[in-house]
Structure 1
């Protein structure tokens, strides 16, 4: 896992260097006049750049603050339009490169907020729907395949929305009923070349409980809007590169519990990392390696977690993955903007022009520390240090409802409640 995280961090650094080397005419223009901040008739400057990355997560990923029932084990198919319409230059540098870059960022954020979920990638080109990456929990492999897809496959012909939806239907129809079934399509064409009636495919999607959402790079289309409306998804149209990224990040938070989903206990195994001098073969890639995670049930070797053991089909996760998923069920209270001045309890900055206060511990944070707490940590650091009794824990929630959060079976696996 450390090797995968290092690869992802290296890719982020390379992308930032490439963005910094772009000429001014290759970048999107910035409306800096919209970020002007004035207090008491005094110009304080612009707020541009204060909330990037984690700031967008705090604004878009946070979602509803009330406690609601959500599907925590997600199964999503990301569909990318690879037709000739993706050559247009209205998104810099062009549609396909912009889509690949933003989809890569979406995949990183998706697994950061949903570590026990899965995703598959499908491409639409020349009336076909090709499976680029099967259902997996390995973001490094998915991002690598996305970066190579343009050179290996190229842009060709017209897309077929019906063919893509039928491919997604076959992928998601075998998903257990306790997991979500989602389709997210990045669509750039103004037409769809289908061999039959798309209404029959939509009815099959509704019967299977599959939710289809589409982010369009071209003007609104009636057929796309109808598909999303009938399946309970969302249809949005990107107006700029920044807006496109914002629309994608809006799908990072898990959706509400669907009507056809079933609440059940799911066996979870917590494998141990082992390093040996003698070579071993993993069951996920059939490759020889000297380190990996050992399945607690069948003793098979897998390369990464979270994943599913191909020998005994046990879900393999780590304790940190389970803990990182709880903030969707128990969201923190949003910070409230307060009067100017004071000292930030996080970075100790004084004379704050923009200050935020935690509603529980009443401590003051600056805008950067507030973005860190709401967009990355998902809890107030001061409340955690003080062990504020007003902040409920997952254990208190399950005890109050009279149900247990997990139970062990005869094989030593942990049963996790999916609701």
Structure 2
């Protein structure tokens, strides 16, 4: 009878729960609030993007995102299924990509039925890309993907681009096979020669040809564990990659447009105001009249910045866009992690009083102000500016050797 009894530890996930319960320990008051805060702090610190060090970065990026639309995307290991989860995370990725890289351009490619089709052209229009991603929810998931056709299409799009901008391809690959018309190794070598950096995020398992593609072109390869890990792998692609050594530095001609006010209503007996058409929505037939940004070289109107002028080819941007790209070159210096021994009463950023739950606090090495772990993560990931140093910019000026003086 004893042999017929089921093993209490028959399933592997049960032992995982036992390890979780062993890690949970109550404090003196019988509460676990401090432990929960510690877990959240470790998770936030782990999600922070690692610093690359003093390397040259490609600030102007041209990124193509290839989405697998084959039958493999219909699996439900990522809820509700791989394809819908990918589209939802891709919307957040597009917004974060242009927030971190305002001077860059992005395009979307669909992989299905052994073909590669362009969904959107390379542009900096966020709304256009998000609308296209939302419209892909009705795409029929059929056939097999062709990795070689996708690489060939990406090469034709990225090869003519100027050398001062980085050329990248990100493949969201769910299939374990690829149907290619020829030798894919020849295509990989051509991309390597052209300096096109290819990265792959696998949704199923590690595929050898994808790993070889990333190794030869200098990209990153990762396989998702769940939707949270999927999101972190996507957000890692928002940071600009190291610039290729073969590319030389050069001057880039840019324009800072003037804002055109909306045309005033015509008075009685006066001539009608001129009709202006926005070049961003010229194909959709929208953008007639209203406010806009005029190109300083050809006077074409655009409703949003940054943009590439369709008339003269000038890169149009504003001063805040350059400032937002600047933080990648000079990141905030890492804060010093200290034990909370009462040396500070409150966080300088959020003005929250430190309690016994705050076992670790952080101090800036330049302004010597103290911060909680939440503000430290916000400064590192989102703000990119130390509040204490920004409050007194004249007292702490950055010298060429990285030192500070009063």
- With the length of structure 2 as denominator, give the TM-score of the two structures: 0.83
Q: Which residue of 1 aligns with 2:376?
A: 370
Q: 1:199 to 1:384 in 2, by over 3 A?
A: same
What are the residue-to-residue correspondences of 1:105-116 with 2, within 5 Å? 105-116=92-103
In 1, the alpha carbon distance for the partners of 2:319 and 2:24 equals 44
Of the three residues 372, 387, 393, the one matched with 2:393 is: 387
Matched, 1:297 2:297: yes
Equivalence for 1:358: 364
Equivalenced residue count is 363
Pairwise CA distance, 1:34: 9.8
Q: CA RMSD in A?
A: 2.6
Q: 1:214 to 1:333 in 2, by over 3 A?
A: same
Go from structure 1 to structure 2 and tell me whether the alpha carbon gap of 1:114 and 1:194 turns closer, same or farther (over 3 Å shift).
Answer: same
Relative to 1, partners in 2 of residues 1:37 and 1:190: Cα closer, same or farther, differing over 3 Å?
A: same
Report the Cα offset of residue 156 of structure 1.
1.5
2-side partners of 1:369 and 1:69: how far apart? 28
Q: 1:65 to 1:236 in 2, by over 3 A?
A: closer
Establish whether residue 343 from structure 1 lines up as the match of residue 321 from structure 2: no
Give runs of aligned pairs for residues 19-418 of structure 1, distance below 5 A: 43=32, 44-47=34-37, 50=40, 62-64=49-51, 66-151=53-138, 153-277=139-263, 278=273, 279-286=275-282, 287=286, 288-340=288-340, 341=342, 342-352=345-355, 353=358, 354-387=360-393, 390-392=396-398
Q: Secondary structure at the match of 2:129?
A: helix
Contact 1:214 1:235 in 2 (8 A): yes
Post-superposition CA distance 1:62-114 (Å, at most 9, x none): 43253321111111101110111101011111101111111111111111111
CA distance in 1, matches of 2:23, 2:308: 46
Q: Could you say which structure has the larger radius of gyration?
A: 2
> Unaligned regions of 5+ residues in structure 2, if any?
1-16, 264-272
Q: Is the 8 A contact 1:344 1:366 kept in 2?
A: yes
Render the CA deviation track for 1:188-212: whole Å, top value 9, x for unaligned: 0110011111011111101111010
1:382 CA drift (Å): 0.7
Q: Which moved more, 1:250-259 or 1:129-138?
A: 250-259
3-state SS of paired residue (1:45): helix
- Where does the alignment leave 5 or more consecutive residues of structure 1 unmatched? 1-28, 399-419
3-state DSSP of counterpart to 1:181: strand
Q: 1 or 2 for the larger relative contact order (CA 8 Å, sep ≥6)?
A: 1
**Following TM superposition, by how much is the alpha carbon of 1:36 offset from its aligned partner in structure 2, in angstroms?**
5.6
Corresponding residue SS for 1:281: coil
**CA 1:95–1:113 in 2, change beyond 3 Å: closer, same or farther?**
same
